């Protein structure tokens, strides 16, 4: 896994983890990567500082996470958004059927009337996700980490 610093056209900066650089590019091109602050999908890699270990057993000094009042407000908004995302995930997990890696197949069945309409959640590959969107099947990525992976 690799972490990238990303930014959107509004100059919001955020981090995201990807399997590889090409995975980032595929997901960005598919419109899956979006700014957590404004929802923009036109994101790009931002310059990153290298992570260099300190010599010996000394710890490197780190800059404080909050630089000014605006950063503190932004931090509070991010924290609140994470709480909302956790509530959303909890609601979906309690009220929808988990279909695992059969998500794309089951979403199609529901969309085309071959299965009862109901809320579902699960996993799909990037290719499956693109295909569902191309078919006009409305899906929404569920924010946060899947508890099934924990």
Which tens digits make up the pLDDT trace of 70-106?
Answer: 667 777 788 888 888 888 888 888 989 999 999 999 9
Question: Percentage of the chain surpassing pLDDT 70?
Answer: 79
- pLDDT above 90: residue 55: no
H-assigned helices in the chain: 21-29, 69-95, 103-111, 126-134
- Residues 6 or more apart in contact with residue 54 via CB below 8 angstroms: 60
The pLDDT score that the predictor gives to residue 49 is: 59
SS3 46: coil
Tens-place pLDDT, residues 129-139: 999 999 999 88
3-state SS class at 147: helix
Look up the pTM and report it. Answer: 0.49
141 neighbors 36 (Cβ within 8 angstroms): no
pLDDT mean over 137-144: 82
**How crowded is residue 33: how many other Cβ atoms within 10 Å of its Cβ?**
23
């Amino acid at each position: 896994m690799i972490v990238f610093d990303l930014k959107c056209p509004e100059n919001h900066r955020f981090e995201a983890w990807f399997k590889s650089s090409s995975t980032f590019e595929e997901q960005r091109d598919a419109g899956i990567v979006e700014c957590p602050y404004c929802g923009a999908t036109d994101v790009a890699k931002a310059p990153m500082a290298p992570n260099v270990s300190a010599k010996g057993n000394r710890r490197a000094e780190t800059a404080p996470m909050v630089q000014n009042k605006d950063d503190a407000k932004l931090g509070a908004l991010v924290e609140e958004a994470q709480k909302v995302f956790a509530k959303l995930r909890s609601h979906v997990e309690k009220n929808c059927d988990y279909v695992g890696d059969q998500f794309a197949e089951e979403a199609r069945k529901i969309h085309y009337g071959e299965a009862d309409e109901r809320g579902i959640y699960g996993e799909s590959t990037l290719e499956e996700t693109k295909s569902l969107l191309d078919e006009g099947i409305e899906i929404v990525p569920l924010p946060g980490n899947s508890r099934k992976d924990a």
